[in-house]
Homo-oligomer: A and B are copies of this chain.
Protein backbone atom coordinates (compact mmCIF):
# COMPACT_ATOMS: atom_id res chain seq x y z
CA UNK A 1 0.00 0.00 0.00
CA UNK A 2 1.50 3.19 -0.99
CA UNK A 3 0.68 6.79 -1.41
CA UNK A 4 1.70 10.34 -1.30
CA UNK A 5 2.83 12.63 1.41
CA UNK A 6 0.41 13.53 4.15
CA UNK A 7 1.74 16.85 5.28
CA UNK A 8 0.42 17.44 8.72
CA UNK A 9 1.76 20.42 10.55
CA UNK A 10 2.27 19.88 14.23
CA UNK A 11 2.50 22.81 16.56
CA UNK A 12 6.25 22.47 16.51
CA UNK A 13 5.95 23.45 12.92
CA UNK A 14 7.65 20.27 11.88
CA UNK A 15 6.52 17.60 9.58
CA UNK A 16 5.25 14.51 11.21
CA UNK A 17 6.37 11.13 10.03
CA UNK A 18 4.74 8.83 12.43
CA UNK A 19 7.75 6.72 13.02
CA UNK A 20 6.88 3.18 12.07
CA UNK A 21 5.59 1.09 9.24
CA UNK A 22 2.78 3.44 8.38
CA UNK A 23 4.38 6.77 7.94
CA UNK A 24 3.65 9.97 6.18
CA UNK A 25 5.82 9.63 3.15
CA UNK A 26 3.92 6.52 2.22
CA UNK A 27 0.55 7.60 3.34
CA UNK A 28 -0.53 4.18 4.39
CA UNK A 29 -4.08 3.73 5.44
CA UNK A 30 -4.28 4.67 9.09
CA UNK A 31 -5.31 2.10 11.60
CA UNK A 32 -8.00 3.44 13.76
CA UNK A 33 -7.03 2.69 17.36
CA UNK A 34 -6.02 0.04 19.85
CA UNK A 35 -7.56 -0.81 23.21
CA UNK A 36 -6.30 -2.70 26.22
CA UNK A 37 -8.16 -3.70 29.38
CA UNK A 38 -7.16 -5.22 32.71
CA UNK A 39 -9.49 -6.63 35.31
CA UNK A 40 -8.10 -7.12 38.79
CA UNK A 41 -4.34 -7.03 38.69
CA UNK A 42 -2.46 -5.10 41.35
CA UNK A 43 -0.28 -3.60 38.65
CA UNK A 44 -3.09 -2.80 36.24
CA UNK A 45 -1.66 0.48 34.94
CA UNK A 46 1.72 -1.04 34.16
CA UNK A 47 0.13 -3.91 32.27
CA UNK A 48 -1.90 -1.42 30.29
CA UNK A 49 1.25 0.53 29.59
CA UNK A 50 3.15 -2.43 28.20
CA UNK A 51 0.08 -3.69 26.39
CA UNK A 52 -0.50 -0.35 24.71
CA UNK A 53 3.16 -0.20 23.81
CA UNK A 54 2.69 -3.47 21.94
CA UNK A 55 -0.36 -1.96 20.20
CA UNK A 56 1.42 1.28 19.37
CA UNK A 57 1.28 0.58 15.60
CA UNK A 58 -2.51 0.93 15.82
CA UNK A 59 -2.30 4.55 16.90
CA UNK A 60 0.72 6.75 17.38
CA UNK A 61 -0.75 10.13 18.08
CA UNK A 62 -2.28 9.94 21.51
CA UNK A 63 -2.33 7.49 24.37
CA UNK A 64 -4.26 7.22 27.59
CA UNK A 65 -4.80 4.99 30.59
CA UNK A 66 -7.56 5.17 33.18
CA UNK A 67 -7.40 3.07 36.34
CA UNK A 68 -10.03 2.45 38.97
CA UNK A 69 -8.95 2.17 42.57
CA UNK A 70 -12.52 1.45 43.64
CA UNK A 71 -13.38 4.84 45.02
CA UNK A 72 -11.98 6.93 42.26
CA UNK A 73 -10.45 6.97 38.82
CA UNK A 74 -6.90 8.02 38.08
CA UNK A 75 -6.08 8.76 34.51
CA UNK A 76 -3.69 10.41 32.16
CA UNK A 77 -3.90 11.08 28.44
CA UNK A 78 -1.53 12.89 26.15
CA UNK A 79 -0.39 13.43 22.62
CA UNK A 80 2.45 11.20 21.46
CA UNK A 81 3.69 7.66 21.80
CA UNK A 82 3.00 5.64 24.93
CA UNK A 83 6.58 6.06 26.05
CA UNK A 84 6.36 9.81 25.59
CA UNK A 85 2.98 10.34 27.21
CA UNK A 86 3.80 8.53 30.44
CA UNK A 87 6.65 8.79 32.84
CA UNK A 88 7.49 7.17 36.14
CA UNK A 89 5.74 9.71 38.32
CA UNK A 90 2.58 9.57 36.27
CA UNK A 91 2.61 5.79 36.29
CA UNK A 92 3.03 5.79 40.06
CA UNK A 93 -0.09 7.90 40.38
CA UNK A 94 -2.22 5.46 38.39
CA UNK A 95 -3.11 3.18 41.27
CA UNK A 96 -5.88 0.62 41.08
CA UNK A 97 -6.57 -2.87 39.80
CA UNK A 98 -8.95 -2.29 36.90
CA UNK A 99 -7.63 -0.39 33.89
CA UNK A 100 -8.50 0.49 30.35
CA UNK A 101 -6.11 2.07 27.88
CA UNK A 102 -6.14 3.42 24.40
CA UNK A 103 -3.83 4.42 21.59
CA UNK A 104 -5.15 6.45 18.73
CA UNK A 105 -4.54 8.43 15.59
CA UNK A 106 -5.71 11.98 15.67
CA UNK A 107 -4.46 15.36 14.72
CA UNK A 108 -2.69 17.54 17.20
CA UNK A 109 -4.00 20.43 19.24
CA UNK A 110 -5.83 20.70 22.46
CA UNK A 111 -9.25 20.24 20.94
CA UNK A 112 -8.04 16.89 19.83
CA UNK A 113 -6.37 16.06 23.09
CA UNK A 114 -9.89 16.37 24.42
CA UNK A 115 -10.78 13.51 22.13
CA UNK A 116 -7.97 11.34 23.45
CA UNK A 117 -9.34 8.25 25.12
CA UNK A 118 -10.27 6.73 27.47
CA UNK A 119 -13.07 9.23 27.85
CA UNK A 120 -13.84 9.70 31.53
CA UNK A 121 -17.16 10.86 32.99
CA UNK A 122 -18.97 11.27 36.25
CA UNK A 123 -22.54 10.03 36.19
CA UNK A 124 -25.24 9.05 38.61
CA UNK A 125 -23.60 5.87 39.77
CA UNK A 126 -20.08 7.20 40.01
CA UNK A 127 -17.25 7.16 37.49
CA UNK A 128 -17.43 5.87 33.95
CA UNK A 129 -14.62 5.45 31.42
CA UNK A 130 -14.86 4.28 27.84
CA UNK A 131 -12.26 3.24 25.28
CA UNK A 132 -13.13 2.08 21.84
CA UNK A 133 -11.66 1.02 18.53
CA UNK A 134 -13.84 1.50 15.47
CA UNK A 135 -16.60 3.72 14.18
CA UNK A 136 -20.30 4.19 14.83
CA UNK A 137 -22.11 4.86 11.56
CA UNK A 138 -25.23 6.36 13.11
CA UNK A 139 -23.49 8.40 15.77
CA UNK A 140 -24.56 11.82 14.48
CA UNK A 141 -28.19 10.81 14.41
CA UNK A 142 -28.07 9.63 18.02
CA UNK A 143 -26.11 12.67 19.03
CA UNK A 144 -28.72 15.01 17.64
CA UNK A 145 -31.40 13.19 19.56
CA UNK A 146 -29.40 13.44 22.76
CA UNK A 147 -28.76 17.15 22.28
CA UNK A 148 -32.46 17.72 21.82
CA UNK A 149 -32.83 16.09 25.23
CA UNK A 150 -30.40 18.56 26.78
CA UNK A 151 -27.16 16.63 26.61
CA UNK A 152 -23.91 18.50 26.23
CA UNK A 153 -20.82 17.03 24.62
CA UNK A 154 -17.21 17.79 25.30
CA UNK A 155 -15.72 15.79 22.47
CA UNK A 156 -16.46 15.05 18.86
CA UNK A 157 -15.88 11.37 19.56
CA UNK A 158 -18.64 8.87 18.84
CA UNK A 159 -17.66 7.18 22.03
CA UNK A 160 -19.21 9.93 24.09
CA UNK A 161 -22.59 9.04 22.58
CA UNK A 162 -22.48 5.64 24.22
CA UNK A 163 -21.66 7.13 27.61
CA UNK A 164 -24.68 9.41 27.34
CA UNK A 165 -26.95 6.55 26.34
CA UNK A 166 -25.83 4.61 29.41
CA UNK A 167 -26.17 7.59 31.77
CA UNK A 168 -29.63 8.45 30.50
CA UNK A 169 -30.97 4.97 30.98
CA UNK A 170 -32.93 4.19 34.09
CA UNK A 171 -31.82 0.55 33.94
CA UNK A 172 -28.83 -0.94 35.68
CA UNK A 173 -25.42 -0.66 34.07
CA UNK A 174 -25.43 -3.93 32.14
CA UNK A 175 -28.93 -3.48 30.77
CA UNK A 176 -28.21 0.13 29.96
CA UNK A 177 -25.07 -0.88 28.12
CA UNK A 178 -26.95 -3.52 26.14
CA UNK A 179 -29.57 -0.96 25.11
CA UNK A 180 -26.86 1.46 24.08
CA UNK A 181 -24.95 -1.15 22.07
CA UNK A 182 -28.14 -2.15 20.32
CA UNK A 183 -28.81 1.43 19.31
CA UNK A 184 -25.47 1.90 17.59
CA UNK A 185 -24.51 0.57 14.17
CA UNK A 186 -20.95 0.10 13.03
CA UNK A 187 -17.73 -1.73 13.69
CA UNK A 188 -16.30 -1.44 17.16
CA UNK A 189 -14.55 -3.00 20.10
CA UNK A 190 -15.67 -1.43 23.39
CA UNK A 191 -14.16 -1.35 26.86
CA UNK A 192 -16.37 0.28 29.50
CA UNK A 193 -15.14 0.68 33.05
CA UNK A 194 -16.97 1.77 36.20
CA UNK A 195 -15.58 1.95 39.72
CA UNK A 196 -15.87 -1.79 40.13
CA UNK A 197 -16.78 -3.32 36.78
CA UNK A 198 -15.36 -3.85 33.33
CA UNK A 199 -17.62 -4.40 30.29
CA UNK A 200 -16.21 -5.69 27.03
CA UNK A 201 -18.13 -5.74 23.76
CA UNK A 202 -17.64 -6.39 20.07
CA UNK A 203 -19.96 -5.20 17.29
CA UNK A 204 -22.51 -7.69 15.88
CA UNK A 205 -20.35 -8.44 12.84
CA UNK A 206 -17.09 -8.67 14.70
CA UNK A 207 -15.54 -6.11 12.38
CA UNK A 208 -12.75 -5.08 14.70
CA UNK A 209 -10.50 -7.60 16.46
CA UNK A 210 -10.63 -8.03 20.23
CA UNK A 211 -9.09 -10.81 22.22
CA UNK A 212 -9.05 -12.06 25.80
CA UNK A 213 -6.18 -13.40 27.88
CA UNK A 214 -5.30 -14.34 31.41
CA UNK A 215 -2.37 -13.53 33.66
CA UNK A 216 -2.64 -15.22 37.04
CA UNK A 217 -6.12 -14.32 38.27
CA UNK A 218 -6.41 -11.25 36.09
CA UNK A 219 -8.35 -11.00 32.85
CA UNK A 220 -6.87 -9.04 30.00
CA UNK A 221 -8.39 -7.69 26.80
CA UNK A 222 -6.51 -6.39 23.79
CA UNK A 223 -7.05 -5.44 20.18
CA UNK A 224 -4.35 -7.91 19.19
CA UNK A 225 -2.80 -10.99 20.71
CA UNK A 226 0.72 -9.53 20.50
CA UNK A 227 -0.17 -7.34 23.48
CA UNK A 228 -0.95 -10.44 25.54
CA UNK A 229 2.26 -12.13 24.47
CA UNK A 230 4.26 -9.04 25.39
CA UNK A 231 3.13 -9.17 28.98
CA UNK A 232 3.45 -12.90 29.28
CA UNK A 233 -0.30 -13.56 29.42
CA UNK A 234 -2.03 -16.67 28.23
CA UNK A 235 -4.34 -16.22 25.23
CA UNK A 236 -7.86 -17.43 26.03
CA UNK A 237 -9.96 -16.64 22.98
CA UNK A 238 -11.23 -13.89 20.67
CA UNK A 239 -14.36 -11.96 21.64
CA UNK A 240 -17.30 -13.08 19.52
CA UNK A 241 -19.44 -10.75 17.42
CA UNK A 242 -22.30 -9.39 19.52
CA UNK A 243 -20.80 -10.51 22.81
CA UNK A 244 -20.91 -8.47 26.00
CA UNK A 245 -18.57 -9.68 28.71
CA UNK A 246 -19.14 -8.39 32.21
CA UNK A 247 -16.41 -8.58 34.83
CA UNK A 248 -17.36 -7.80 38.39
CA UNK A 249 -16.64 -9.04 41.87
CA UNK A 250 -18.26 -12.36 40.96
CA UNK A 251 -15.87 -12.87 38.06
CA UNK A 252 -16.47 -13.17 34.33
CA UNK A 253 -20.01 -13.30 32.93
CA UNK A 254 -20.34 -14.18 29.26
CA UNK A 255 -23.38 -12.47 27.86
CA UNK A 256 -24.65 -11.18 24.51
CA UNK A 257 -26.48 -8.02 23.54
CA UNK A 258 -27.13 -8.94 19.92
CA UNK A 259 -28.95 -12.06 18.84
CA UNK A 260 -29.79 -10.91 15.31
CA UNK A 261 -28.53 -12.63 12.22
CA UNK A 262 -25.32 -10.89 11.38
CA UNK A 263 -22.66 -12.31 9.14
CA UNK A 264 -19.24 -12.56 10.67
CA UNK A 265 -17.13 -9.93 8.92
CA UNK A 266 -13.68 -9.28 10.35
CA UNK A 267 -11.85 -6.48 8.57
CA UNK A 268 -9.70 -7.99 5.80
CA UNK A 269 -7.19 -5.16 6.03
CA UNK A 270 -6.29 -6.36 9.52
CA UNK A 271 -5.02 -9.53 7.86
CA UNK A 272 -3.42 -7.77 4.93
CA UNK A 273 -1.77 -4.86 6.60
CA UNK A 274 -2.77 -3.56 10.00
CA UNK A 275 -2.19 -6.25 12.59
CA UNK A 276 1.32 -7.01 13.73
CA UNK A 277 2.85 -10.09 12.06
CA UNK A 278 3.29 -11.77 15.44
CA UNK A 279 -0.41 -11.42 16.28
CA UNK A 280 -2.99 -14.11 15.67
CA UNK A 281 -6.44 -13.45 14.25
CA UNK A 282 -8.96 -16.25 14.57
CA UNK A 283 -6.14 -18.55 15.49
CA UNK A 284 -4.03 -17.69 12.44
CA UNK A 285 -0.62 -16.12 12.82
CA UNK A 286 -0.41 -13.03 10.66
CA UNK A 287 3.11 -13.54 9.39
CA UNK A 288 2.12 -17.03 8.27
CA UNK A 289 -1.08 -15.73 6.70
CA UNK A 290 0.85 -13.08 4.81
CA UNK A 291 3.35 -15.66 3.60
CA UNK A 292 0.37 -17.63 2.30
CA UNK A 293 -0.85 -14.49 0.56
CA UNK A 294 2.54 -14.30 -1.11
CA UNK A 295 2.39 -17.96 -2.14
CA UNK A 296 -1.15 -17.50 -3.39
CA UNK A 297 -0.03 -14.48 -5.36
CA UNK A 298 2.72 -16.57 -6.94
CA UNK A 299 0.12 -19.11 -8.01
CA UNK A 300 -2.16 -16.44 -9.40
CA UNK A 301 0.41 -14.23 -11.04
CA UNK A 302 3.78 -15.82 -11.57
CA UNK A 303 6.33 -13.83 -13.48
CA UNK A 304 9.90 -14.78 -14.16
CA UNK A 305 12.39 -12.46 -12.49
CA UNK A 306 15.74 -12.31 -10.71
CA UNK A 307 14.55 -11.40 -7.27
CA UNK A 308 11.55 -10.75 -5.05
CA UNK A 309 11.47 -7.81 -2.68
CA UNK A 310 8.81 -6.46 -0.35
CA UNK A 311 7.95 -2.90 0.55
CA UNK A 312 9.02 -2.71 4.20
CA UNK A 313 7.78 -3.44 6.74
CA UNK A 314 4.33 -4.73 5.99
CA UNK A 315 5.06 -6.68 2.82
CA UNK A 316 8.19 -8.53 3.87
CA UNK A 317 6.24 -11.63 4.91
CA UNK A 318 4.33 -11.82 1.64
CA UNK A 319 7.52 -11.34 -0.34
CA UNK A 320 9.16 -14.24 1.48
CA UNK A 321 6.09 -16.35 0.71
CA UNK A 322 6.24 -15.44 -2.95
CA UNK A 323 9.94 -16.25 -3.05
CA UNK A 324 9.51 -19.61 -1.34
CA UNK A 325 6.71 -20.57 -3.69
CA UNK A 326 8.57 -19.62 -6.86
CA UNK A 327 12.16 -20.34 -5.90
CA UNK A 328 13.13 -16.82 -6.97
CA UNK A 329 15.42 -15.47 -4.26
CA UNK A 330 14.08 -13.00 -1.72
CA UNK A 331 16.36 -9.99 -1.55
CA UNK A 332 16.54 -6.72 0.35
CA UNK A 333 15.79 -4.51 -2.61
CA UNK A 334 14.97 -1.50 -0.52
CA UNK A 335 15.50 -0.47 3.06
CA UNK A 336 13.59 1.74 5.39
CA UNK A 337 15.36 4.16 7.71
CA UNK A 338 14.40 3.31 11.27
CA UNK A 339 14.96 6.73 12.66
CA UNK A 340 12.22 8.58 10.88
CA UNK A 341 9.51 10.00 13.05
CA UNK A 342 8.20 13.23 14.35
CA UNK A 343 10.15 16.43 14.08
CA UNK A 344 12.20 15.38 11.09
CA UNK A 345 13.13 18.26 8.83
CA UNK A 346 11.94 17.77 5.26
CA UNK A 347 14.37 18.20 2.40
CA UNK A 348 13.90 21.28 0.24
CA UNK A 349 12.24 20.82 -3.12
CA UNK A 350 15.61 21.10 -4.81
CA UNK A 351 17.18 18.44 -2.64
CA UNK A 352 14.15 16.23 -3.08
CA UNK A 353 14.65 16.46 -6.79
CA UNK A 354 18.28 15.60 -6.32
CA UNK A 355 16.99 12.44 -4.80
CA UNK A 356 17.22 12.89 -1.07
CA UNK A 357 15.38 9.95 0.36
CA UNK A 358 14.54 10.25 4.00
CA UNK A 359 12.68 7.07 4.54
CA UNK A 360 13.08 4.39 1.91
CA UNK A 361 16.11 3.72 -0.21
CA UNK A 362 16.60 1.25 -3.00
CA UNK A 363 19.66 -0.96 -2.55
CA UNK A 364 21.44 -0.24 -5.79
CA UNK A 365 23.85 -3.16 -5.72
CA UNK A 366 20.95 -5.56 -5.18
CA UNK A 367 18.57 -4.36 -7.89
CA UNK A 368 20.98 -3.07 -10.49
CA UNK A 369 20.52 -4.92 -13.75
CA UNK A 370 17.86 -7.15 -12.25
CA UNK A 371 14.26 -7.99 -12.99
CA UNK A 372 12.47 -7.20 -9.75
CA UNK A 373 9.19 -8.45 -8.32
CA UNK A 374 7.97 -5.89 -5.84
CA UNK A 375 5.33 -7.01 -3.35
CA UNK A 376 3.11 -4.44 -1.65
CA UNK A 377 -0.10 -4.76 0.32
CA UNK A 378 -2.34 -2.18 -1.33
CA UNK A 379 -2.52 0.84 -3.59
CA UNK A 380 -4.50 3.80 -2.31
CA UNK A 381 -3.84 6.81 -4.51
CA UNK A 382 -1.01 5.38 -6.58
CA UNK A 383 1.49 8.17 -6.17
CA UNK A 384 3.74 6.40 -3.72
CA UNK A 385 3.70 3.18 -5.71
CA UNK A 386 4.88 5.18 -8.68
CA UNK A 387 7.59 6.74 -6.57
CA UNK A 388 8.86 3.38 -5.35
CA UNK A 389 8.83 1.82 -8.79
CA UNK A 390 10.78 4.75 -10.16
CA UNK A 391 13.22 4.58 -7.28
CA UNK A 392 13.92 0.94 -8.16
CA UNK A 393 14.36 1.86 -11.81
CA UNK A 394 16.72 4.72 -10.90
CA UNK A 395 18.74 2.21 -8.94
CA UNK A 396 19.09 0.14 -12.10
CA UNK A 397 16.23 -2.36 -12.00
CA UNK A 398 15.57 -3.62 -15.53
CA UNK A 399 11.96 -4.58 -14.89
CA UNK A 400 9.61 -3.93 -11.98
CA UNK A 401 6.66 -6.25 -11.56
CA UNK A 402 4.25 -5.12 -8.89
CA UNK A 403 2.15 -7.65 -6.99
CA UNK A 404 -0.46 -6.37 -4.54
CA UNK A 405 -1.68 -8.79 -1.89
CA UNK A 406 -5.17 -7.31 -1.82
CA UNK A 407 -7.89 -6.72 -4.40
CA UNK A 408 -8.21 -3.17 -5.75
CA UNK A 409 -9.18 -0.74 -2.98
CA UNK A 410 -12.27 1.02 -4.33
CA UNK A 411 -14.60 1.97 -1.49
CA UNK A 412 -14.30 3.91 1.74
CA UNK A 413 -14.33 2.16 5.08
CA UNK A 414 -17.09 3.04 7.54
CA UNK A 415 -15.70 0.94 10.34
CA UNK A 416 -12.67 2.68 11.65
CA UNK A 417 -10.08 2.96 8.90
CA UNK A 418 -9.11 6.41 7.77
CA UNK A 419 -9.63 6.27 4.00
CA UNK A 420 -9.52 9.14 1.55
CA UNK A 421 -12.51 10.25 -0.45
CA UNK A 422 -13.67 7.73 -3.05
CA UNK A 423 -12.49 9.99 -5.87
CA UNK A 424 -8.95 9.79 -4.59
CA UNK A 425 -8.92 6.01 -4.60
CA UNK A 426 -7.17 5.24 -7.86
CA UNK A 427 -8.81 1.83 -8.24
CA UNK A 428 -12.29 3.31 -8.11
CA UNK A 429 -11.82 5.07 -11.42
CA UNK A 430 -9.06 3.27 -13.27
CA UNK A 431 -8.53 -0.16 -14.69
CA UNK A 432 -5.65 -2.34 -13.61
CA UNK A 433 -3.89 -1.59 -16.88
CA UNK A 434 -4.34 2.14 -16.35
CA UNK A 435 -2.98 1.86 -12.83
CA UNK A 436 -0.02 -0.15 -14.12
CA UNK A 437 0.76 2.61 -16.54
CA UNK A 438 0.30 5.28 -13.87
CA UNK A 439 2.73 3.62 -11.49
CA UNK A 440 5.17 2.83 -14.30
CA UNK A 441 5.29 -0.92 -13.61
CA UNK A 442 6.12 -3.60 -16.16
CA UNK A 443 3.26 -5.66 -14.86
CA UNK A 444 0.73 -5.29 -12.09
CA UNK A 445 -1.49 -7.81 -10.42
CA UNK A 446 -4.01 -7.49 -7.59
CA UNK A 447 -4.84 -10.55 -5.50
CA UNK A 448 -8.24 -12.05 -6.16
CA UNK A 449 -10.81 -11.96 -3.37
CA UNK A 450 -10.99 -15.73 -3.52
CA UNK A 451 -7.24 -16.03 -3.23
CA UNK A 452 -7.25 -13.69 -0.28
CA UNK A 453 -9.96 -15.71 1.49
CA UNK A 454 -8.06 -18.91 0.84
CA UNK A 455 -4.80 -17.45 2.10
CA UNK A 456 -6.38 -16.09 5.27
CA UNK A 457 -7.78 -19.55 5.86
CA UNK A 458 -8.73 -20.56 9.36
CA UNK A 459 -12.02 -21.99 10.53
CA UNK A 460 -13.95 -19.17 8.90
CA UNK A 461 -13.14 -20.26 5.41
CA UNK A 462 -16.60 -21.81 5.05
CA UNK A 463 -18.35 -18.64 6.21
CA UNK A 464 -19.79 -16.14 3.81
CA UNK A 465 -16.73 -14.47 2.24
CA UNK A 466 -14.54 -16.39 4.63
CA UNK A 467 -15.92 -14.41 7.56
CA UNK A 468 -14.25 -11.26 6.24
CA UNK A 469 -15.44 -7.75 5.52
CA UNK A 470 -14.29 -7.02 1.98
CA UNK A 471 -16.42 -3.92 1.52
CA UNK A 472 -13.50 -1.70 0.59
CA UNK A 473 -12.92 -4.05 -2.34
CA UNK A 474 -16.44 -5.17 -3.29
CA UNK A 475 -18.79 -2.54 -1.85
CA UNK A 476 -20.70 -5.20 0.12
CA UNK A 477 -20.99 -3.56 3.55
CA UNK A 478 -22.06 -5.82 6.38
CA UNK A 479 -24.22 -3.11 8.04
CA UNK A 480 -26.53 -0.36 6.98
CA UNK A 481 -24.26 2.58 6.25
CA UNK A 482 -26.56 5.42 5.26
CA UNK A 483 -28.45 7.26 8.02
CA UNK A 484 -30.44 10.29 6.95
CA UNK A 485 -27.77 11.14 4.48
CA UNK A 486 -24.98 11.13 7.00
CA UNK A 487 -22.09 9.22 5.56
CA UNK A 488 -19.38 8.91 8.14
CA UNK A 489 -16.00 7.81 6.96
CA UNK A 490 -13.09 6.58 8.85
CA UNK A 491 -12.53 6.40 12.52
CA UNK A 492 -14.30 8.44 15.09
CA UNK A 493 -13.08 6.81 18.23
Residues of chain A at the chain B interface (Cβ within 8 Å):
9, 11-14, 19-21, 43, 46-47, 49-50, 53-54, 56-57, 73-78, 81-84, 86-91, 93, 109-111, 114, 119-124, 128, 147-154, 156, 163-164, 167-169, 215-216, 226, 229-232, 235, 276-278, 280, 283-285, 287-288, 313, 317, 320, 324, 329-332, 334-335, 337-341, 343-345, 347-348, 350-351, 354-358, 361-366
Contact = CB atoms under 8 A, between A and B. Distances in A.
Given A87-B11, A231-B355, A152 B148 contact: no
A202 to B, nearest CB: 21
A274 to B, nearest CB: 14
A230 B357 contact: yes
A337 B151 CA distance: 42
A304 B76 CA distance: 51
Given A76-B110, A230-B356, A361-B278, A151 B151 contact: yes
A168 B153 contact: no
Nearest to A15: B88
Contact of A356 (B21, B147, B232): B232
A106 to B, nearest CB: 15
Contact of A153 (B121, B276, B320): B121
Main secondary structure of the interface of A (DSSP, over half): mixed
19 contacts: A9-B89, A12-B87, A13-B88, A14-B87, A50-B358, A53-B337, A74-B111, A81-B339, A83-B341, A83-B344, A121-B154, A150-B164, A154-B154, A229-B362, A277-B363, A278-B361, A278-B366, A285-B363, A338-B338
A167 B151 contact: yes
A112 to B, nearest CB: 11
Given A57-B338, A366-B287, A123 B110 contact: no
A128 to B, nearest CB: 7
A222 to B, nearest CB: 13
A53 B280 CA distance: 35
Contacts of A156: 122
A345 B231 contact: no
A366 B232 contact: no
A278 B363 contact: yes
A276 B123 CA distance: 40
B11 A90 contact: yes
A19 B20 CA distance: 12
Contacts of A363: 229, 277-278, 285, 287
Contact of A84 (B82, B148, B331, B343): B343
A83 B231 contact: no
A348 B46 contact: yes
Contacts of A87: 11-12, 14, 343, 345
Contacts of A229: 357, 361-364
Given A53-B339, A285-B365, A285-B366, A150 B122 contact: no
A151, A284, A356 — most chain B CB neighbours (10 Å) = A356
Contacts of A324: 329-330
Contacts of A93: 109
B124 A75 contact: no
A311 to B, nearest CB: 14
A390 to B, nearest CB: 12
Contacts of A74: 111
Contact of A21 (B21, B111, B338, B355): B338
